Chain A
Amino acid sequence: MSEEFKIEIVNPEKSFLVKEDVSEVVVPAFEGEMGILKDHISIISFLKPGIIKILSKSGEENYYVEDGIVEFKNNNLSILTSSIFNVADIDKSKQQDFLKKAEEESVKEEITDQSKYLIDQKIEVLKTLN
């Protein structure tokens, strides 16, 4: 029996990625990284900035997300996100760009604790890229 399930990543502009032969997905859920295998219980959670790791027959793929919602139901994993990038597409200059923006954001005074936490996460993840 195959241990595969379906993943669908959509962003507001289009359906970003659909894959039917996924064996494991690791998502950066708000309260910590979460690995999802087939027949996981139905769950809704949202994402913090981090890396989505998708393991399938065709190998491993990594995507960088800044926010989003995950929903898993009947072996269908849907990820709704407004900002997602393939890690392979992020080069040095792009990474620096993101980092600069995030750092600017983090020194603003009026941010709440929660968004401060999210931005710190973002900076940390961006630093680990490449």
Chain B
Amino acid sequence: MASLDDLKKRIASVKSTQKITKAMKMVAAAKLRRAQESAEKGRPYSEKMNNVILNLSSGISDKENAPKLLSGTGNDKVHLCVVMTSDRGLCGGFNSNIIKKAKSYFSKILSEGKELKIITVGSKGNDQLKRMYGDKIIENISFKESKNANYFDADKVGKIVIDKFESNEFDICTIFYNQFKNVITQIPQSQQIIPLNSEDSEENTSDESYEFEPDEDEILSNLLPKNISTQIFKAMLENSASEQGSRMSAMDNATRNAGEMVDKLTIQYNRSRQAAITKELIEIISGAESL
């Protein structure tokens, strides 16, 4: 059995760990509020963007010559996956949930005999994926320096994706991120961004026809790259809200577990202290009796 001194030390160390997890939870809670706010504020932009594109693509004159970002290359041989994770750990199952989702998609693609390319955003995803898929990762982007998700970072990722698309490095692009539902629930999502999947969005064909200046094709070819960045930005916002939410609940759990551990250790400490006293008493009494 551990000595009294050891127990005391353990209690102190668990207590200080508890303090850390508690502080982390508080920080995550504060950050979560901000992240959630910006995720909500960012929604109108991506919604409006989607609407405009829908209106445009329904009005496009000849589908044959539609921009490739909309209609695809016609092949589906090479898949590009953008896996978006966090840069920091200690956030529960946040990263591993995305990785799990991504990995099952990877193995599906590979078993179909298609080529796979991976871009990781965030260092944690890179760490977890490089062991199994190291040769498939073509780029690793990390935004450790930026405090909040911002559009310029998203634009950078978007530009990389579009560059690669234009140099015909892939046919289909999918992004993986966690959608923020609430503090305890985050849903790992996969979303195809190239070619644009317009089937799952409801067709709101307004009778009203727009006037375009310049013509549809030109607007569309300007708009689609922006839409890629917007979608990535949306994913980043959702991700950062999810990360903080996930960290908050993970740290909450850790704090509670540490509390339980302190209780248990304290009881053990008191018992052994009492046992030691009893032992000493017995020794004194039996010593006195023998006199």
Contact = CB atoms under 8 A, between A and B. Distances in A.
A12 interface: yes
B23 interface: no
Contacts of A101: none
B214 interface: yes
Interface stretch (B42-50, B62-70, B73-81, B91-99): B42-50
A93 B45 CA distance: 30
Contacts of B212: 43-45
A14 interface: yes
B118 to A, nearest CB: 25
B56 interface: yes
B55 A10 contact: no
A43 B215 CA distance: 11
B151 A44 contact: no
Interface string B138-158: 000000000000110011000
A13 B229 CA distance: 13
Given A12-B230, A78-B48, A80-B48, A43 B41 contact: no
A46 B155 contact: no
Given A46-B219, A46-B223, A31 B45 contact: no
A42 B208 contact: yes
Nearest to B152: A82
Contacts of B222: 46
B233 interface: yes
Given A30-B213, A80-B48, A15 B208 contact: no
A73 interface: yes
Given A44-B55, A44-B56, A44-B219, A10 B44 contact: yes
Contacts of B49: 69, 80
A88 interface: no
Given A43-B212, A71-B52, A13 B223 contact: no
Contacts of A12: 42, 45-46, 151, 154, 230, 233
B261 to A, nearest CB: 42
Contacts of B229: 82
Nearest to B55: A44
Contacts of B155: 82
Interface in A43-81: 43-46, 69, 71, 73, 78, 80
A29 interface: yes
Contacts of B56: 44
Contacts of A71: 48, 51-52
Nearest to B40: A14
Q: Which of A31, A43, A44, A73 has the most CB of B within 10 A?
A: A44
Interface of B: 38, 41-42, 44-46, 48-49, 51-52, 55-56, 150-151, 154-155, 208-214, 219, 222-223, 226, 229-230, 233
